[in-house]
Chain A
Amino acid sequence: MRFFRLVAAVAGKDLKVELRSREILYTMGLFAAVIVVVFSFAFVKDQTALVEAVPGVAWAAVVFAGTIGLGRAFDREREGDTMRALLLAPAPRLAVFAGKTVAVTVLVVAVEAVVLPLCLLFFNLDLGTAIFDLALVLVLGAIGFATVGTVFAAMLLRTQSRDVLLPVVLYPILVPMIMAGTKATAAILAADGGDAWFWIKFLAAYDAAFAVAALWTFEALVIE
């Protein structure tokens, strides 16, 4: 019970800080929007953008912008040296990092809320109710990204050149998630409900597998 209260306190603190400055949301959102615009521009043929490019563009935007948000969410703890304050507090470190995972998930979902309408706009898509399926896919992707990303960001906390190492070590591990995400998106765009549902289940399994792996290895990896 106390564990969940601590998770909520850390996540709530992160989100409150973000709502005050809105720095991460604005920069991440604009970055994601620029990626979508540049890529849809790159895939134009006869003045319309190719629909086949949508899954790749959307997920590239989410992952790249998400990495920026992830990095900033941890950089922020270095500004007042508050990471030390968190580590010094008698709260389970797992709760602290679970709280950060929740906050990063919310940030990534917020970015997806920018990416999705832009994709619909630039690629002239009309999804109808399938948009809810796509939203589910994006949220599952955000959870997986935040879970794996937080573990790696936490492991890299005290190392040199962490800014460049984070994407280098993170992206290969994210490959199954990105693949499932793009396949699910493509299936939804092609109105292939069976395939879409299959990849949604795969995404959920990926989230569960790495949530367990993260919980299991966290103590050994992060705690000094």
Chain B
Amino acid sequence: MSSKAEAPPRREAGFSVVGKRNRKVEGRKKVTGMAVYADDLVFPRMLHAKILRSPHAHARIRGIDLTKALAHPGVLAAVTGKDLPVPYGIIPWTRDEYALGLEKVGYVGDAVACVAALDELTATEALALIDVDYEVLPSVLTIEDALAHEDEPHQVNPFAKKGNVSKHVALAFGDVDGALAQSDVVLEETFEYAGSTHVPIEPHCAIGVPELNGVITVYTSTQVPHYLHRELARVLRMPADRIRVIQPVVGGGFGGKSEPFDLEFCVAWLALKTGRPVKLLYTREEVFYAHRGRHPMRMTYKAGVTKDGALTGVKSRILIDGGAYSSFGLVTTYYSGQLLTAPYRFPAYAFDSTRVFTNKPCNGPKRGHGSVQPRFAFECLLDMLAEKVNLDPIEIRRRNFIGDNVRTVNELRVTSNGFLQCLDVVEKASGWKERWRKLPYGKGLGIAGSMYISGTNYPIYPNDMPQSAVQLKADRSGRVTVFCGASDIGQGSDSLLAYVVAEELGVALEAIRVVAADTDLTPVDMGAYSSRVTFMVGNAAIDAAKKLKKLVQQAVAEAWEVPAHSVWLAAGQVGTWDDPEKTIPPAEAFQLAEAKFGPLGSVGAYNTPKDVHGSYRGGTIGASPAYSFTAHVAEVSVDVETGFVKVDKIWLAHDCGRAINPTLVEGQMDGSAYMGFAEAVMEEQAYKPSGLHDGPSLLDYRIPTSMDCPDFESHVVESVDAEGPYGAKEAGEGPLHPSVPAIANAIHDALGVRLNQLPFTPGKVLKAIAARPGAWKGVG
């Protein structure tokens, strides 16, 4: 349970904010109940809306009769797909869903119509009065069904180019078959990763507020205000300059709020129609239907090693269950292959991934998007290979380390890489050398490693504008206001902005105000996804702050008759190297600058390097300005009579480049390991044969309570990236990846059996024990 940072001595040199365990800027609001989330907002004359959802997994909508619903006392307006007939989608090439079902519904829970009424209860009553004429179609619920029945009426998504294939990617790097043929050991295994969902504790909520002059404001619990802004303009057929998106405090995202949802279009349309504010709050059940969670994947991996444990080639075939729509699926399909190529060197590599449409809630990006599943498969296979060549599984990982400042086999540019240190730290902390393969039957240790992106080199829609921008305003009071479109979803985005600006301008954190995620007020940032915020927003903030700092330095230098470069701003003081006695508070320095230059402001931006991706089609996907690296050791105790897997502890070490705030980095690491642990042993987004969700509630879909969790011991490793802000890289998603394979490998150490199918529930464990050669088959 303890957490501690491995602090290199150099951090103390020269930083006054960076590397310190500062509080979060909004922390006090959150511990006093004063933080305002979407559902906490109330507007005069506000209406409440509810969405009617499909009871069928697959059906054609022949007609919708709103007459009775509209006549219900207290109902003011209703909307159907015909009012919003423009397809949208987060990826511009796969706009394949409608705000409300237009001609079809694709899963149980798909949106059909929406009603606005004086209160929530009246709106709910009105839903029962809507007559929908469905023509029920045969549904496809499995990958096999989707591939076997491709044509009408089995085609799930009419936008699909062919049958039920959402996306197919096949890429090969080097002669993988030749490499495998020359290996001393080759193994092939199939793994199945179950779907799971994000479960932010805050259900999605949106409010549409009609403003003067035909402007519409949408307050919503989103991670991507900018992308939502674009899609709202598209679907509402309004100029983007008439639409304002404001993200209030968001109660958790994890990828589950990173694209537009039906409710945002509905509240905007209904607010414009009625001229009144309209709020829509999902029920917990609806959150399970909105989903966009972890894709189920069936993955067959073949890999070879030399007798010394050097990887020769890796090859995979992956089938991905996409659900009814594309969401980020194009990217998911690429990521399933692209993001496996470090921290180990692959001399040759090939993958063939196919995402299919099925009549289930749409899968999308959940923390560690697209790469958590392949990572599980590969790290288990690597353990098996280590065993075959008689190597300690940590040793085989060290031997195959790809190094820093290298290109991967698929041409991703890796800069800093602290993976070896991560291995060292968890090996030592867990007592690996003394305990692995030496614990009693039922107890075991397992290791796994991983890498992840710090944002994507290319934004979701092609453009040459900055990926992140920050605007600063400083005034004679000494205050600095930071404007940025970035989304704080609990990870500390607002605090990051404040820390960076405080570091650069030397002002106290209390003198900084952060205005974020409001498309009217803040310069565009792409949002909180792909672990991009620290790297990109941090760099944009440094750029803006350095420009403002220059103005202050010039003005102070002129007043004091010293060189501008001698003027320093740090720790709540402005001074000059030329005269140690001379210091003034920032407010006085700002006044000098305001007198010289007029009102003080600056803008800064970050854009990704554009020449560091693969030179093949698809080579841009997976390219990131920097990669983070992680290693976990998990310890498990398996009850061999019940098959229950208790994860006792996870030691994790994560190379985040530099921890701008170690407390927040550890928090991301603990939370990532937690989420991976939950996917390993508890969670599954499962469906009944009819396509109905197996239990869309927190009583049925069990997430870990305080009693279920292992201890997490998070160790920060700092490789100090040359391009990251102060050397920082991501920390929010990478540390999830190794949890699952580390637990799987620990179960193997405990029992001598391999579990290739998630989650590791007691039934599967008992079956695996019983299937062991020579296993005790029970009495009688």
Our verdict on whether A and B bind, yes or no, reads no
